[in-house]
Amino acid sequence: MKGLPRETFESLKPRLKKLHLPSLKVILITDDQGRREQARFRVFLIGGKHLLLTEEAFGPAYGEVGSRVLGELVALLKKGGTHDFKEAVLPPGLYSALDELDPQELRERLLANANPADPGLYAA
């Protein structure tokens, strides 16, 4: 649900219940590191063999609700025991083409580009 933070988050919640949150790896993906106040985010979740990439729907680029919902998502994951948060800043061309990548290639590229992130950066 591109550009719809609340709807994307609500559709993600039931899927999160099927994952073991303490072992989950979370990669917050953006293409704009220099202007965090305008950043748009997608979230990639790695839970064992399960891989899940959200639509581009989170962050300040989608207004106050986009920032708030990103913070709510991070808070929900933390409450569930998730502690492995990373951020990947990708070139705009690669960011736009994420849906076209094979799931394993997507996983490898994102893990290679990801750096540890403080979840507090995304708090609402």
Is the pLDDT at 74 greater than 70? The verdict is: yes
Is the pLDDT at 11 greater than 80? The verdict is: yes
Whole-structure pTM value: 0.92
What is the Cα–Cα distance from 97 to 15, expressed in whole angstroms? Answer: 23
Q: Under CATH, which number does the domain 5-115 receive?
A: 3.40.1530.10
CA distance readout (Å), 10 to 1, 20, 79, 95: 11, 18, 17, 23
- Band (120; pLDDT cuts 50, 70, 90): confident
Going from N- to C-terminal start, the domains of the chain cover 5-115
Is the pLDDT at 43 greater than 70? The verdict is: yes
